Chain A
Amino acid sequence: MMLTDLTLAAARSGLRQRAFTSRELTEAHLAAIEALNPRLNAFITVTGEQALAQADAADAALARGDERPLTGVPIAMKDLFCTEGVRTTAGSRILGPFVPPYESTVSANLLRAGAVFLGKTNMDEFAMGSSNMTSAYGAVENPWKRRQDADAVLVPGGSSGGSAAAVAARLALGATGTDTGGSIRQPASFCGIVGLKPTYGRCSRWGVVAFASSLDHPGPLARSVEDCAVLLGAMAGHDPKDSTSADVPLGDYQGACGRSVKGMRIGVPREYRADGMPEEIEALWRQGVDWLREAGAEVVDVSLPHTKYGLATYYIVAPAEASSNLARYDGVRFGLRTNGKDLCDLYERTRAEGFGAEVRRRVLIGTYVLSAGYYDAYYLRAQKVRALILRDFTEAFARVDALLTPTAPSAAFVQGEKMDDPIKMYLNDLFTVPADLAGVPAISVPAGLDANGLPIGLQVIGKPFDEETVFAVGAAIERAASFDALPTIRAGTAQ
């Protein structure tokens, strides 16, 4: 087995047992990146030298018995996390050559846990998108190919498309992402890997380029549920520098992966279906329900009546917050600057040149819905519907421990599709958006393949701060699914 085929947990054990060194492990991944990144475009910045230096330091640490949760493990960081001394772009032109003079809390936590950073992964611009096609640094190719029409280039999903593709193609053992409307879970589903959106406030947002403050959730992507648990344990924790950071103790996430689901009550919300959703996804969902029943869980029908309003709610709240969060990109203190005849011109031209079309659309929508006379009709109303969406979850969780749903209404689609109408793209987030609005934890686990051989994920949603149950149920699905299909484009295969 190649080093790049190991799970993160297995690689960690291997390092601790000195079966191989971090240097070897890191070199293997850097070689894979060198071979495949020109095609996949999963990485915007590769930090090869730094990674090797970190690997050597990790080997020295291991030699003296200093074993931390991630010592020597090479992972990738979504380019939305500010990394000190390493260029950070947020997938946008407007950040220009910006090199942060500070390290985000989450990446600092990972560094402190001994991780090795391979580089910064590609993403939809400012995390706005579900296909990675809005990146100013080019699209990312999904390492999975269709059985029919194997030449078609597929999207990895988004906005954490680069992280998902990198993990799926075995260019990294794990990666960080952020999930605002589904940006960890949907690409995880499209790329056949595991992605977790923790409870809101579980992982600090300090140093994460802000898109929509009340909806941004940093979280892990990896090739197994247990790997995500290990990553979450290292990423999470209260941060006094983030006022929305939860001061709640961490759980035993790795331990939870082995917990039985016997006796657990699993809710199946009838509203998680979409017009035109492939029957295969419904079938896989029913299959998932059977798996959990067979594992001893009790399955209950539940209703989350406001589910269908999630997208519209999200597409008011997120753009509104984004329009304000992105006001700081003005060419004055960092990033791109396009000079103009006066101050107003400087702002207008810098931002016109620096922001892509999707970002511009959302900033304008956001500006409009907050503007004089419209606040009540749009933003205030949306925040009330949001309260109802949360109430749906709270009421359901009074009766069940977790929910099982599909992650996305389709498998990965072809690059260039759904670009003619923004709303078509937004519909990708139908099943993921409600958990963002409510702040409840949710995971996507690869459960099967569609007729085209493309992965489809199932989603487990849990109670606030109960990631342990989410991991337990997710791991149960993973065991039952025995998903062992591999993407066509991956480390070690001829291209």
Chain B
Amino acid sequence: MSYSVEGATGPWEVVVGMEVHAQVISKAKLFSGAPTDFGAEPNTQVSFVDAAFPGMLPVIDRECVAQAVRTGLGLNAHINVVSRFDRKNYFYPDLPAGYQISQYQHPIVGEGTIEIELADGSARAIGITRLHLEQDAGKSLHDQHPTKSLIDLNRAGVALMEIVSEPDLRSPEEAGAYLRKLRTILRYLGTCDGNMEEGSMRADVNVSVRKHGDPYRTRCEVKNVNSVRFVMQAIEAEAKRQVDVWESGGTVEQETRLFDPGRGVTRSMRTKEDAHDYRYFPDPDLLPLVLDESWIAELKAELPELPDAKKRRFVGQYGLPAYDAGVLVAEQATADFYETVAAQRDAKQVANWVMGDFFAALNRTGRTVADSPVSAENLGKLLDLISDGTINGRIAKQVFEAMVATGHDPGSIIDAQGLRQVTDTSAIDAAVERVLAANADKVAEYRAGKDKLFGFFVGQVMKAMAGKGNPALVNEVIRRHLGN
């Protein structure tokens, strides 16, 4: 069932490719020793190199290169042992040198693949064309003054990885899945935090449409979309626009557009004719980047287990359904949390708790696994206390909520609130007798055949016991009293 845009002349296929700019996690910038932290006072994280003062020269940061290699390996891509830096020349106030140091003809990483999983359970391999390193630009503020734009160069020179996909995506859903998967991989590798809201990961989306089976038509680029949701909306809006243009007899012009989330449409960016004559040439201040094969091998050996491999292992090792495994590995921290709890325990039960109550609690309290109020150790203890009969499932939920609220371990909460499960038969007996006595009419109805009332009695007894009755025993005792 493939996605298409319905036009007046029939269904149109959407062809999408993505260029993602991912800010590299490193202490210093790609070609200068200035820091990369977010949110500092303006122009306090600027080297004279970043500000393109006269006579300044670039020197490449080893960790930035390593991060690009790690990312390439994580994308199952070919690492180019020799790559080169080129200058991309254009004038803009946030580009102090009047050129960006990038890689044009010889990028550090070549072809690779990303596996994406869709809601219907199907999987697709999306091709990666290349990954290259380049400098980020500074920031221009256009809304601080009526007639002037203000320039902050803190971000100028921060390392970016530009990751280009093949035009293999065919729907907004696939594009969303691709972005999420890419973000997961980058976060696993620790090479980018994937935070689209903060701008450490930005997507430029190339969209074109065609009738199924036809050759490609002109594409437009929708730039700087800063959330997965907006990417999906932008694709839909742009595809519709292009279909309208084609169907009304017009021609789609190749251009750069911006997505307006408020109106749900894309609009053309103001561009001058020559905006795209970048006059690329090899940067004469730099030499070819030549990587040591043994260094690449070292980086490869140090890579963490990546999401696809981890998911396969979870399915095999823990017997989880693929969907659950997928959810658990989406964040490495979550996967680690799960495995800590699941060790020596019922893997499926743990999965249910993590994906159920635990995720719900995190959502509700606005926390993440990293700053979770409930530690893996404590969740594990809670599950042990259910297994060994100290508490029943219902009380466990109550204890869990208290753990979320206080951060305390389950044992102390149970003791403090006296929540131990009651297994003492005489206490249960007494409660059952009281309940049955108080509900003689319903007892008669039950005996007359209204079986459903059994649940009512169970509920009442549990209520009378403040939930602490061992459910199995309660059932047994009630049956005995009712004479079944």
Contact = CB atoms under 8 A, between A and B. Distances in A.
B279 interface: yes
Nearest to B272: A344
A214 B60 contact: no
A321 B284 contact: yes
A104 B48 CA distance: 12
Interface string A207-251: 111101110000000000000000000000000111110000000
Contact of B54 (A210, A244, A330, A372): A210
Interface stretch (B65-73, B89-97, B440-448): B89-97
Contacts of B51: 333
B281 A320 contact: yes
A197 to B, nearest CB: 17
B281 A370 contact: yes
B48 A101 contact: yes
A371 interface: yes
What class of interface size applies to chain B in its complex with A? 20 to 34
A242 B57 contact: yes
B465 to A, nearest CB: 76
B287 A370 contact: no
Contact of A332 (B57, B96, B284, B287): B96
Nearest to A372: B277
Contacts of A253: none
Interface in A185-219: 205-210, 212-214
Interface string A449-470: 0000000000000000000000
Contacts of A323: 89, 279
Nearest to A81: B55
Given A243-B285, A243-B286, A334 B55 contact: no
Contact of B52 (A214, A242, A333): A333
Contact of B151 (A205, A321, A332): A332
Interface string A150-188: 000000000000000000000000000000000000000
B59 interface: yes
B42 to A, nearest CB: 13
Contact of B91 (A207, A240, A330): A330
Contact of A244 (B87, B93, B149, B287): B287
Given A101-B48, A214-B284, A205 B91 contact: no
Interface in A238-285: 240-244
A483 interface: no
A26 interface: no
B459 interface: no
Interface residues of A, number: 42
B55 A375 contact: no
A243 B149 CA distance: 34
Contact of B55 (A207, A327, A371): A207
Interface string A322-349: 0110011010111000000001000100
A315 interface: no
Contacts of A327: 89, 91, 97-99
B303 interface: no
Nearest to A82: B55
A242 B53 CA distance: 14
A102 B285 CA distance: 19
Contact of B279 (A88, A90, A213, A371): A371
A314 B53 CA distance: 25
B56 interface: yes
Nearest to B89: A324
Contacts of B54: 82, 88, 90, 95, 98, 100, 209-210, 328, 334
Interface of A: 81-82, 88, 90, 95, 98, 100-102, 104, 205-210, 212-214, 240-244, 320-321, 323-324, 327-328, 330, 332-334, 343, 347, 367, 370-372, 375, 379
28 contacts: A98-B54, A100-B53, A100-B54, A207-B56, A209-B54, A210-B54, A212-B284, A241-B57, A241-B59, A243-B57, A243-B59, A243-B286, A244-B57, A244-B286, A244-B287, A324-B98, A324-B99, A324-B281, A327-B97, A327-B98, A328-B54, A328-B96, A330-B98, A347-B91, A370-B281, A371-B277, A371-B279, A375-B279
Given A81-B55, A209-B55, A210-B285, 7 more contacts: A210-B54, A244-B57, A324-B99, A327-B91, A333-B52, A367-B279, A379-B281
